[in-house]
Structure 1
Amino acid sequence: MRIRLLGEITAHVDGVPVDLGHERQRCVLAALLVEPGRPVPADVLLERAWGDRLPQHPRQALYSYVSRLRQTLARGGCTVPRRPSGYLVEIDPLDVDLHLFDDLVRRAGGPAQSDDCAVELLDTALELWTGDAFGGLDTPWLNGIRRELHRRRRTAQQRRDDLALRLGRHATVLDGLLARADAEPFDEALTGSALLALCRCGRRAEALARYDQLRRHLAEDLGIEPGDELRGLHERILRDAPDLALREPATVVPQQLPPAPAAFTGRTGELAELTAAMQAGSDRAAGPIAVIGGVGGAGKTWLALRWAHEHRERFPDGWLYVNLRGFDPTGEPVAPAAAIRSFLTALGVAAEAVPADEPEQAAAFRRLVDGRRMLVVLDNARDSAQVVPLLPGSATVAVLVTSRRRLTGLVAAHSARPVVLDCMSPADAAELLRVRLGAARVAAEPGAVEALLPLCAGLPLALGIVAARAATDPHCRLRTLVTELRSRPTRLDALDAGDLAVSLRAVMAGSVRHLPPAAAELFGLLSLGPGPDIGGTAAASLAGCDPGGLRPAIRELLDASLLVEESPRRFRMHDLVRLYGIEVAAAGAGAGSAVERLLDHYVHSACAAAGRLEPLRDPLLLPAPLPGVRAETFGDRRAALAWFAAEEQVLLSAVRYADGAGFHRHAWQLAWALVYVLDQRGNWHAELDVHRAALRSALRLGCDTAIGHAHRGLARACTWLRNFDEARGHLGAALDAYRRLGDQAGQGFVYRNLARVSARQGQPDRALADDRRALAMFEAAGHDHGRAQTLNALGWHLAHLGEHEQAVARCGQAIEVQQRLGDRHGEGLTWDTLAWSRHRSGRPEQALGCYERAAALLRDQCDRYQEAVVTEHLGDAYAALGRRSEARAAWLRAAGLLATLGHPDARVLRAKATTGAH
């Protein structure tokens, strides 16, 4: 939808006119659109649209008009919601000509904008006017706004005319100048511009006649003489002064750098890296080139300008700067030819002396800078193709480029040195807030500052917007901003300072807008991933395509700095980039099925990995994955463990996500697959967390199998955390579920878990009774694997009760079954029990060989946790024999194994090795 206010008020949807209703309804629309995005209270709307001529039932009339406008604007995708503070129209401000005009004028006045581009922008802005603003609508408020808008229009016209005269385009603006001078005969600045244009067009006599006419009008109507500036111009026209004609300026030292960033903090490492990159390229025939890359809002321009100002003395012949607007949210990138013309102007070349042919313009630029010690800053480049024509090719000229893309072509073909800009460290981010807000403001709310840092995720633009909002509103409490930012659906709204240049959403949109469609779609889908990163096969499942077919889109996202490859085929998104990606995904189709494909990938891959780690564990019966899902396969235990290590945080997040998003089957099945690795790492709090989510999902499904598994997982975590009563409660609920199913093996595992609780409580006799019940269940079910586990456990309990002969007999029975099943892992655990029994029966020297055999079996199965347990027991046996050095070596080896898992008991074992206590 496009709406015009600079003339008769009209609206078009895809070029088709829309009926906006009668005069008063259009008044209401204008009153809302003058400040888009800002709610207008009903009382203010009434005053703006009616003034003091209110209808008989004003609010009823207003509601009627708003309701009709809501229906009309909905055709163009615009809404008119009512907020607590009033009504507003939700529309892109640049779809309203009034705000597009202001934006074009603002851009034309930018400090780095060339005169050529500024004139083009101003011409575009002025062409938006088709008559008096708001047409013939008449209220006191509209009349006041109309006068202000017309003043801004006259200012833009004068600026355009001044620039055009400077560029030698006097002929193109002359007619307009004369017409406006006739309409406003007492505007001396306007008359002066008209006189200068007449002179340069060879109409000197007409210029003198117009001056005489103005002087008479001023004397007769106002009794005054023309001002000094206009009189001086008149005298120069009389003398035919040479300075009235366009001249070739003398060679100048361009100083186009924008001001240095006032609140720059941190980035010391990146500044040093940039200096090293520039020095390393200083001996090149074409001069050094450095490329600062990073996600939008990372502070690339900030860093470039800081470095440039710190090293100004290295470039005494000048500094050229151009904003190439590669990702500008409101316009197209600057063409290389336009950038070169701006450089030529800065270097002192008169407009009429600029070659007409673009290759000749580039050649002239290179001739002018050749041999001069200069710095060229090419800011916000779209791609390598935009940059290459602007390279000066001189050994004395350094080039500093910033871009959201990696500009691989520039690095490969022109030996540019990349400097990757990542998020700020927490310390630097905190310092930035302190500098921007002042130490007193930060000290007053230290807790709020600490909460703000992770919410801004180290992105300088986000930190700057938060600081700006707080600084411009002294009554705004930092904790209020924390509350706004903590809501993920509205965090990007809070990171908007009311200007497209400082809106995080607009910055991200500028990056995504230039992506190929397939990459843009993938960007949205990848943001839906539940974990901190995503692997290549998982990404392919999410997109529903072959991994090879995904690579071009992945490369696009990597090049655009919207994705980071932290290790081979593992990709991460910045937290705030992900939030924008979620909005992109929500606007598309197929997000739900994409997420289900991803969860299918994780469930099938995790269950396959769990099967490698515990091949005798009863597998889950999984439904076939959705079409397009690629599950991982694992050749051995090492591959399965490596996959779990890489995916652990993702899988934990996936369980929580699946539970909250209604994918309940995926939630409990993922939790089931994670039990072994979480136990290995001693990550019992995570085990508790995921099985709580699994239980919620299982109860919603009403599936007893899921309920039983979830309760058992919770009981396992509670047992390790010594919450024994809670563990028994969960196991009672699990037993009920398996009884309803008639699942004897399931009941056997519950009794096995109850025995573990009793053993952890130091109650071996009670544990023995529970495991005897478990053995009966396994024997009734014909479940040999469960039977072997329980025989081993019975040996352990009997050994604790001093019944060592019975313990050895039970262990022998267990080993016989395990060898028949090929259960080398279970056999290793049983040899540990056997060794422990011999150790405790006063035969530690006989235990040594059993421990070593147990450790070898578990090492072969890549079970570092159980290998560490056995190695600790081995150390205990050495200590009992008085072999202290061998005992300490075994304990330290066990501590090292646990440390590789991140297990908390590693510290305990190190202390044990230090003190010798056991």
Structure 2
Amino acid sequence: MRWCLLGPVEATVSGRPLAIRRPQHRGLLALLLLNANHVVSVPQIERALWGDRPPASARTQVQVCVSQLRAALRTTDAAHLLAHRAGGYRLTVAAHDLDLAEFTAAVDRARIAARHGRPAEAAGHLRAGLTLWRGPALAGAAGAFVPAAAAELTEQRLAAYEQLAEVELALGRHERLLDTLRPLLADHPLRERLVARYMLALAGSGQQEPALRLYDVTRSRLAEELGIEPCAELASAHLRVLRHEVPAAAPAVPSASPAAGHAPTGVGAPAGAGGAVVPAQLPADVAGFTGRAAPLRQLDALLPEAPAGAGTPAPVVISAIGGTAGVGKTALAVHWAHRVAHRFPDGQLYVNLRGFDLDGRAVAPGEALRDFLDSLRVPPHQVPAEESRQAALYRTLLAGRRMLILLDNARDADQVRALLPGAPGCLVVVTSRDRLVPLLVAEGARPLTLDLLSTAEARQFLGRRIGPARLATEPEAVDEIVERCARLPLALAVVGARAAVHPGFPLAALAGELRDAPDGLAAFDDADPATGVRAVLSWSYRALGAAEARLFRLLGLHPGPDVALPAAASLAGLPVSRVRPLLAGLTRAHLLAEHEPGRYTFHDLLRAYAVELCRRDDADPERAAARHRMYDHYLHSAHAADHLLDPHRLTPRVRLTPTRPDATVQEPAGHAGAMAWFTAEHRVLLAAVAQAATTGFDGHAWRLAAVVTTFLDRQGHWGDLAGAQHLALAAARRQADRTGQAQAHRGLAVAYTWLGRHDEAHRHYQRDLDLYAELDDRAGQAHTHVGISWLLARQGRHRTALEHAERALLLYRATASTVGQAKTLNNIGWLHGRLGDHHRAAACCQAALALHARNDDRRGAALTWDSLGYAHHRLGQHDRAVECYHRALDLHRELGDRYDEGEVLANLGDAHHAAGDCAAARTAWRQALEIYDELQHPDADQLRGRIAEPDRVPAGGTTRASG
């Protein structure tokens, strides 16, 4: 037997079609084939064929249709394949006999081949699967379900073509791909993913102008017909065509399209993947970069002759003689990286490792790894807790890619070793004052020692900033400036900025000011060739206005790594409107750099100078007041943002004292604004916790650690969370503040739970419980019991977990906390469900829903509807379960919670499957899989297997508890 849905609906034997001619009979056959090997009830058949208004004779008509199908099958002795079972009908079909099953299997095989780096094999599977299509899906069939089912099948076909396009783009088969996609594009001119791939194929075959015209036409039609702008993928393809970034062949297999319902080959697909986002983290190129011809040639020599050359370029170490700072290591590395970035189509990663910061807080390898994994689009919940596993994941993601990795300002070899890729294709550039000999010996790095500028280069450097005419007018003064700046680029840049701001000043006068300036920085002795740098900085500093000079000094108190405008305003105790022009002035004088809009950073020599000046010129009370304003800014701003992240939290909130009068507080707009603020500031906040704990501000230290906990937890930064809470615990103990100690113990328990250190988590939760008992804080005790319950549930100890949840509920009732009661009732219901008492689970969840409605806690309600759906599912009440899951789904979509939306869709599919509605189950599962693939959900492959083999679906879903 051969069963066909991908074209006219029919059944054939040895190529001869059976006599199934009436559209309604073909409709019933299609419905049974879409639910092959599963019972389809008569009510389901009636709804499928006639919708919500079946005729009075519907049941009779169904029986007639079944009889006609059996009669056709009987001619080949196959009537037994269509059987009456449990109030419905089941059609037994072997997978290899159904064209849809073969097509789906081919697409799955292609996905696996692509994932394992076999693009040619993937393309073969996809083309074989697509040849099974003989025309429009479900042609000739009648029934209310047919249009939607046919549209879903058509979507799968188009997604497969898009997946084929990605693989063939990677193989450089542009001409063949154009022939394949051309008729599809004619039928679907506004399908943006298809247009994007066709554009890239045009550009890859040398037809850039037609590709750009196609974009312009498509953009106009989208605006006129749909009122929308091109999607990100189409816009990205347009940008790649404009930049001539479409190679003839790509070295790595691109990701499968999420629309195809298949997982990407890796997190952060290569640039050859038809518009996938790639990291581009290089700082801005150095304006007016001058000289360094020999070092640039040495760097160029590291690259292969052709862009796609084989082999791994060795890492590069750029170091300065004697560890000289300010010699231009970063400028050279960044400038060269921009020159060769096009040779690395999979992107560029950058990190300032802060190896020589005065405060000694260099970036730890694990911190840099987590930032890189985030840039490579690894969701936080997939980042391993252990640094060694993070490094292994990082190396895995870089395998087969061509990326440029710039590790700036490294302290030593140990700081960078975990950041080196392990496979060919990537180039690593490391800058450091250290010679990094272990990298030379063990990693095969090639040293490039960067000296001071030559006299000619220094003159050229200065000329680029003040103009060649002015340079030629006073050659002797220029020579003295070059000599007094020790041919050091940093010093020359500061002098050049001063001269450019005052074009009427004679250069001889500027040279004289340098001559009369104080001696060099105390941090540099007479053996250092940069000993004159302090003279340059002091001369430039003395040229500042009083307000600019004060701000420059106070910025030396900031913990780094960078400072935003409101924090700078708080340090100075001035309004933002007055500080903005002061920062602009410091930037113009090259004493500060605005490395991204509104965020400023120092060169480490400039930071050292600012710290020295602040200690010398600002009294202790003024320095303490500035720090107090700065810590108030971060604490009160983070507290406001933290509330927006979880307005219905169970955790007792940190109580704040009023801010100092001149501190600036930011209040982000909504949940998205709070996430953006924390994303920009969380490194600064961690540094502020550490600094506050060592400068006499213990109260700020533990409170800052408390208000950043939710963000760090949700983003998976559990190592950072543990580090901050250890500092907070010590600070709270110094203050003998039991509330602060309790907050820190809870934060440590949360971090250790996620890090898998369960015994330590138990100890911290128990100490937390003891402290809240001493404080007679029943709300704190309740939340600690919730935490213990969650930890026990993760260990599979559901009975004991239930006992702690029930204790929490009693305490929340005693404190009249309806938010706590609602969330805890859901947890209790969830645990009863895990213990098999589904009636009690449903009752608890119903009670939780009533309280969530009173509290207007939509996220709590969404999680509870999901729990309730699970309970009804396990009770066999599948229609009720479906209804509950839809309620949860609607709320999660309103809240924009994609992770939970995906999990509810997976559970909804399970409920449909248990009810015998296999078509609805597959629809829900595929929607869930699209989200799982988008978020790199750990259960994506399990769900994919569920779609491929629905008979193996588990009895229940994967409901989450609230906390």
Superposition TM-score, scaled by structure 1 size: 0.47
Find the structure with the greater CA-based Rg. 1
Structure of higher RCO (CA pairs closer than 8 Å, 6+ residues apart): 2
TM-score, normalised to structure 2, is 0.45
